[in-house]
Amino acid sequence: MGAFQQKVWLITGTSSGFGKRLVASVLARGDCVIATARDLEKLRAVFPAPNGRLHLAVLDIADSTELIAQRVKAALAVWGRIDVVVNNAGYGVKAVLEEGGAIAALTQFQTNLFGVLNVTNAVLPHMRERRSGTVVILGSRSAWRPEASPAGLYAASKAAVHGERSVPPSTSPHTTSNSPSLFSLPSFVPLPAIGETYATELRPFGVRVLIVAPGAFRTEGVHAYPPTITTRIPAYEDARNAGLARFAAVAGRERGDPARAMELLVDVVKGEGRAAGREWPLWLVLGRDAYADVRAKCQKILETMERWEDVATDLEFEQCELGAQGA
């Protein structure tokens, strides 16, 4: 592989889950990887024989902005550049909103939102200068189904980095006439979020953004974390326990293969394999369950808008109508 084809990837959260599989997929394609995690010894246990294309480093995305910037600067010095940054590291708080409160929310957002901001912003000056680069944000289909308590805070943190979009029927060749295209979502009723904002702000510099929304895959994920209860409220006992039981029932039984998902992610970034010849997607929704959930939420929002459109859109000043008629 020529040097101009070989990419350098910086990936966070690589000691388990999607991150571990992504490192393997990237190395198999001949690219270079700076694999990071909070615990270097754990990382060395996962990758006991790093080769000339794999560099292991400590990076805790819950650290301060200044320390993360130092870690990224050191990563840039390894091969002199970073072509792809993958924000994979994350943390899953399981809490009923009233029981977890702001303390649980701050913990959740420190990692899943502010950590993504800090890592990405530390890499961006380099990418802007080179006028080239790819920013990948690993989110979750949970952002599209926050009603699945007690994962509301986790869903909220992922919605913050995603941005949700409700979409009208699409005529994309990859969908039926009644289904929205989820490989490249058209703009419709956008909600602000950093992933989509980055895409707009970085486009003039030749930097691409990919927002990944996986469904249920068999990884070490949100199931690994105990519930967070700042103030126990007996009234939520039954609902909390039922939600935790639902999590436990699917843990280790998910149908999604994380290795195959990460192979597709590498295809998309490199424009190869199953992504060859396809338009760059802002969104990459992964898994049958994720497709079903996102479609259901889009349809629910559209149906609600249609029911309320007659009264919810007739809210302009009367002078505007008069002015329009006069013109």
Q: In what order do the strands lie in the sheet with 54-58?
A: 54-58, 32-37, 8-11, 84-87, 133-138, 207-214, 283-286
Q: How many CB atoms lie within 10 A of CB 104?
A: 22
How far is the C-alpha of 46 from the C-alpha of 39, rounded, in Å? Answer: 11
Q: How many CB atoms lie within 10 A of CB 116?
A: 27
Residues found in the chain: 327
CA angle 88, 142, 111 (to 5 degrees): 40
Identify the DSSP state of 52: T
Q: Catalytic annotation on 236?
A: no
Q: CB-based contacts of 30: which residues, under 8 Å, 6+ apart?
A: 1, 6, 53
Residue of 154, 198, 236, 291 marked active site? 154
How far is the C-alpha of 305 from the C-alpha of 283, rounded, in Å? Answer: 23
**Beta-sheet strands, E only, within 106-264:** 133-138, 207-214
* Catalytic residue set: 154
